[in-house]
């Protein structure tokens, strides 16, 4: 499953303002709710925060992939956010998180969201790709980099 059909440029936030995990999740939830009227910011945030209570989705090397299932969501949706300073996401390596891919799936959805999680994880293990996202000058450049990298596989 490709990223292209799940991520739109308006859901690429190149300069997240949040200073902690909750604020970052709220900022991304807000962006999604403005694009998808079927779900509210609070519904998205609550699903994400509940998932985080089970265990942090912060990975290694400044990466997090928060994900959740949300009732009323019509299809899988992906958002991306970059924090220039980085935030504490309770990552495995305790490093600040700077790159956040947020994945939402409808309640009762099939295993497609698991395929996307695996794809994102593979993509983000590539140091060159991570550095490209960190160095990008704006949302357009980030969006283009993600789609170009996704096309390789």
Residue of 21, 67, 82, 113 marked active site: 67
Q: 12 pairs with which residues across the strands?
A: 80
Under 8 Å between Cβ of 63 and 97: yes
CA–CA gap between residue 4 and residue 6 (Å, rounded)? 6
Q: 79 pairs with which residues across the strands?
A: 102
Q: Which of 47, 48, 51, 61 is nearest to 121 (CA)?
A: 61
* Three-state DSSP state, 8: strand
67 is catalytic: yes
> Within 10 A of 17 (CB to CB), how many other CB atoms are there?
12
| Residues carrying an active site annotation | 67
């Amino acid at each position: 499953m490709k990223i292209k059909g799940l991520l739109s440029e308006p859901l690429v936030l190149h300069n997240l303002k949040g200073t902690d995990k909750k604020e970052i999740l709220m900022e991304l939830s807000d962006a999604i709710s403005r694009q998808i009227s079927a779900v509210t910011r609070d519904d998205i945030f609550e699903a994400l925060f509940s998932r985080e209570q089970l265990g942090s989705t912060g990975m290694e090397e400044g990466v997090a992939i928060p994900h959740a299932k949300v009732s009323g969501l019509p299809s899988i949706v992906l958002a991306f956010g970059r924090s220039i300073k980085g935030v504490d996401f309770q990552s495995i390596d305790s490093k600040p998180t700077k790159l956040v891919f947020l994945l939402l799936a409808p309640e009762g959805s099939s295993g497609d969201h698991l395929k996307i999680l695996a794809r994102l994880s593979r993509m983000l293990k590539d140091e060159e790709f991570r550095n490209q996202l960190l160095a990008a000058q704006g949302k357009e450049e980030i969006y283009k980099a993600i789609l170009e990298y996704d096309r390789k596989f």
